[in-house]
């Protein structure tokens, strides 16, 4: 790398960023320095609350009323941003630097057409004519791979899907050919296949435009795809920075290692490579420890050296490109991913099915309008779902948003009733009984862990009340006994027992999710349905919750139905997997079967889209065109036919595909013969 010969676009020199509140100055970023040259992409990663977004806003010199650069300098193309006038800043911001935020809907004006908003950029910044602006807007829409740019041009933001909106935002950011592009979690809200397409777009644009990119993400996998350098932030400090390959192959800072130990890498599972969460939490900016900020959570800490004075940033092993802020860096052992210590236990092969779902349909009847003679239409959310989960095992259900996986969870838990088909729990039919009509025994047997930690607990009730009330209702325990047992459950989920007096807002996201698990455990359930229980959490918390679920399952022998869009987590946690698309199961089998050929073409595409945080992994690239069709308009043949890259012919559009079965019980629903599906290469391969 000869970055030094290139022109630097962005330089942060000992930048110090603070917010000013009624409580006084809060120093969020004490001292950060890095340089970004043209054509370079730097990924900033770290847990939430580490100051990533603050740095992004500071780079744009857009910290709002309460934030300020209180020390050091931020140079853009050699000019000090602090010394620019408002007019100069405006000219630079729209013209030479652009920003893409996480939520595209909040970046787009809902009452203006997409085209108008795009045209504004050249009209305002360059004084271009209407016609010229229009031409350029359509050209840029074409460039970001939007199908039929002329029609997108005329549409309003709400008429586009999330992925299309984000492409429009990127198009807008690129409109003025910026030399610096700041992207703050640009793909976080998107489905994996859409995310993959957007990431590919960013990579391609970077190559053609030579823009420098600051790419902020909590997902190490996306950073590997986009960036050539990575900066790991912890509590406002850049603790490690260097080329992607070097940092991932030989992480030198204990925090970087901790992050890597937290994330399941596609291909590892709970039996071979356990996840190791980082203990503790990111310290708040007001209570930053003396010396190394990571010391309180660090496994390698030596207090008399780590917590005394400022920790210098030094080149790792004398490599000037790879900087680390750790005094013990030279003595740390070589990094190795954690391996299972004990003997690897075999997958549980119990035969008794705890849950069996046969020909399950769920149809929502959409009422027609008053003057609608057709009288409404049907939305088929689940169609002919057949599944089984053995006692004590984990069944994972994966798929993108709108595939019906949450509807399935609702039918299992009785929050919705099945339209047709059978759901039996340990031999008892529950599919047609709403939760109000289920017996207490069934309610005890089947409990649920929800996705959103902020909505899972009632903010008006204390933690203890939430758990004790559940114990009272499900086990008919008296108040005093319920309180005592609630404290016991808190211990099971590894929370201090005196948390029972707290309100949910005094807890972090991971702690709330633990309480939710404790509540679900209150009745002593045999089946737990977990709907995306970790997708809203930081990676280190995610690892801890996953480990907790595994441990509880081992102790209690409970069956787990785990719903997720994250294939790495599913690969790690599940015993059996079902892949859903538009309300249908397209592939099902053991986790080893589903993650290896033969694949359903959709599974293959999903696997190729998963961002993998390992630069040594080779992944096949399958980009899916188009969007998931609406559930109101499911294709009559194969549901995946409209986007399938391996479509056989018209038969896919007209005839529902047959279910192919291997002798091992692996099911694939596809028109392509099994032999042909078997001969493909695995999607994910490690480079040797």
Partner 1 sequence: MTTDVRNFGATRPRDGKLARLLRRIALLRESPVGMIGAGLVLFWILVAILAPLISPYDPNANDFEIARDWYPSARHWLGTDNQSRDLLSRIIWGSRTVLIVAPTAVGCAYVIGCLMGLLAGYYRGWVDLVVMRISDIILSFPVIILYMIIIANFGPSAFNIILAVTFIAAPQITRIVRGLTLELRERDYVAAAKMRGESAWYIMLVEILPNARGPLIVDACLRMGYTTIAIGVLGFLGLGLPPPDPDWGGMVKDSYALMSTYPLMSIIPCMAISSLVVGFNLLADGIREIGLRD
What residues make contact with partner 1 under the rule CB under 8 A? 22, 413-415, 435-436, 438, 440, 443, 447-448, 450-452, 455-460, 462, 464-466, 468-470, 472-474, 478-480, 482-483, 486, 498, 500-501, 516, 519, 522-523
276 vs 261: CA distance, rounded Å: 5
Give the nearest distance from C-beta 479 to partner 1 in angstroms. 3
Q: What is the DSSP letter of 680?
A: S
Nearer to partner 1, 176 or 472 (CB): 472
Nearer to partner 1, 480 or 664 (CB): 480
- Smallest Cα–Cα separation from 398: which of 390, 408, 388, 389? 408
Nearer to partner 1, 286 or 308 (CB): 286
Give the nearest distance from C-beta 184 to partner 1 in angstroms. 24
Give the nearest distance from C-beta 343 to partner 1 in angstroms. 38
155 vs 144: CA distance, rounded Å: 16
Nearer to partner 1, 100 or 490 (CB): 490
The backbone torsions φ and ψ at residue 478, rounded to the nearest 5 degrees and listed phi first, read: -70, 160
50 vs 283: CA distance, rounded Å: 9
Whole-Å CA distances, 546 to 341, 508, 549, 552? 18, 16, 5, 10
Nearer to partner 1, 459 or 626 (CB): 459
557 vs 560: CA distance, rounded Å: 9
Nearer to partner 1, 405 or 667 (CB): 405
Give the nearest distance from C-beta 465 to partner 1 in angstroms. 5
Give the nearest distance from C-beta 682 to partner 1 in angstroms. 38
Whole-Å CA distances, 110 to 75, 154, 159? 34, 13, 10
- Smallest Cα–Cα separation from 37: which of 76, 60, 14, 8? 8
Q: Which helix or strand (DSSP H or E) is residue 585 part of? A: strand 584-590
269 vs 301: CA distance, rounded Å: 29
Nearer to partner 1, 435 or 617 (CB): 435
Give the nearest distance from C-beta 373 to partner 1 in angstroms. 21
Q: What is the DSSP code string of 524-555? A: --SEEEEESTTTTS-HHHHHHHHHHHHHHHHH
Give the nearest distance from C-beta 294 to partner 1 in angstroms. 31
504 vs 515: CA distance, rounded Å: 9
535 vs 326: CA distance, rounded Å: 31
Q: What is the DSSP letter of 504?
A: G
Give the nearest distance from C-beta 75 to partner 1 in angstroms. 36
Nearer to partner 1, 22 or 336 (CB): 22
| Residues in contact with 592: Cβ distance below 8 Å, sequence separation at least 6, in sequence order | none
Nearer to partner 1, 254 or 414 (CB): 414
Give the nearest distance from C-beta 635 to partner 1 in angstroms. 30
């Amino acid at each position: 790398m000869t970055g030094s010969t290139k022109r630097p676009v962005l330089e942060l020199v000992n930048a110090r960023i603070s917010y000013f509140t009624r409580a006084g100055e809060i120093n969020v970023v004490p001292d950060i320095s890095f340089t970004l040259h043209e054509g370079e992409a730097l990924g900033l990663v770290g847990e939430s609350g580490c100051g990533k977004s603050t740095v992004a806003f500071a780079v744009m010199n857009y910290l709002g009323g309460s934030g300020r650069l209180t020390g050091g300098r931020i140079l853009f193309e050699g000019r000090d941003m602090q010394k620019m006038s408002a007019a100069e800043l405006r000219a630079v911001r729209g013209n030479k630097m652009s920003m893409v935020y996480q939520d595209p809907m909040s970046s787009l004006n809902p009452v203006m057409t997409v085209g108008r908003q795009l045209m504004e950029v050249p009209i305002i910044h360059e004084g271009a004519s209407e016609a010229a602006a229009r031409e350029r807007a359509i050209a840029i829409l074409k460039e970001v791979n939007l199908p039929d740019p002329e029609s997108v041009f005329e549409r309003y933001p709400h008429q586009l899907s999330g992925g299309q909106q984000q492409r429009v935002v990127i198009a807008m950011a690129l409109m003025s050919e910026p030399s610096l592009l700041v992207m703050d979690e640009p793909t976080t809200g998107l489905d994996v296949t859409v995310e993959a397409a957007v990431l590919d777009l960013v990579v391609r644009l970077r190559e053609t435009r030579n823009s420098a990119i600051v790419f902020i993400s909590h997902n190490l996998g996306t950073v590997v795809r986009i960036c050539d350098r990575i900066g790991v932030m912890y509590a406002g400090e850049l603790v490690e920075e260097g080329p992607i390959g070097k940092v991932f192959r030989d992480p030198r800072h204990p925090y970087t290692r901790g992050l890597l130990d937290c994330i399941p890498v596609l291909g590892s599972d709970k039996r071979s490579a356990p996840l190791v969460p980082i203990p503790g939490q990111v310290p708040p900016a007001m209570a930053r420890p003396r010396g190394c900020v990571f010391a309180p959570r660090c496994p390698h800490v030596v207090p008399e050296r780590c917590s005394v004075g400022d920790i210098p940033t030094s080149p790792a092993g004398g490599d000037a490109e790879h900087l680390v802020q750790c005094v013990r860096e030279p003595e740390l052992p070589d990094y190795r991913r954690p391996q299972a210590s004990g003997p690897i236990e075999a997958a549980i092969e119990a035969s008794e099915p705890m849950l069996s779902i046969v020909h399950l349909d769920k149809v929502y009847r959409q009422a027609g309008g008053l003057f609608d003679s057709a009288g409404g239409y049907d939305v088929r959310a689940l169609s002919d779902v057949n599944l089984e989960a053995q006692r004590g095992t984990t069944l994972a259900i994966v798929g993108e948003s709108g595939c019906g996986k949450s509807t399935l969870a609702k039918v299992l838990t009785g929050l919705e009733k099945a339209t047709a088909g059978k759901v039996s729990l340990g031999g008892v039919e529950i599919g047609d009984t709403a939760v109000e009509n289920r017996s207490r025994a069934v309610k005890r047997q089947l409990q649920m862990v929800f996705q959103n930690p902020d909505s899972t607990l009632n903010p008006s009730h204390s933690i203890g009340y939430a758990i004790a009330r559940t114990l009272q209702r499900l086990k008919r325990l008296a108040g005093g006994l319920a309180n005592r047992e609630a404290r016991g459950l808190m211990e099971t989920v590894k929370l201090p027992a005196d948390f029972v007096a707290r309100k949910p807002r005094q807890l972090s996201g991971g702690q709330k999710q633990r309480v939710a698990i404790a509540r679900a455990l209150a009745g002593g359930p045999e089946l737990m349905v977990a709907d995306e229980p970790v997708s809203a959490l930081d990676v280190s918390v995610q690892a801890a919750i996953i480990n907790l679920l595994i441990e509880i399952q081992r102790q209690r022998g409970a069956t787990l139905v785990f719903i997720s869009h994250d294939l790495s987590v599913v690969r790690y946690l599940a015993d059996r997997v079902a892949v859903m698309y538009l309300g249908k199961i397209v592939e099902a089998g053991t986790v080893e079967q589903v993650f290896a050929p033969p694949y359903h073409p959709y599974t293959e595409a999903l696997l190729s889209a998963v961002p993998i945080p390992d630069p040594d992994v080779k992944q096949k690239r399958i980009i899916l065109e188009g969007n998931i069709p609406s559930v109101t308009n499911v294709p009559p043949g194969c549901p995946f036919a409209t986007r399938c890259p391996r479509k056989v012919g018209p038969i896919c559009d007209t005839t529902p595909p047959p279910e192919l079965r291997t002798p091992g019980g692996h099911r694939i629903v596809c028109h392509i013969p099994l032999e042909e599906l078997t001969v493909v290469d695995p999607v994910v391969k490690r480079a040797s």
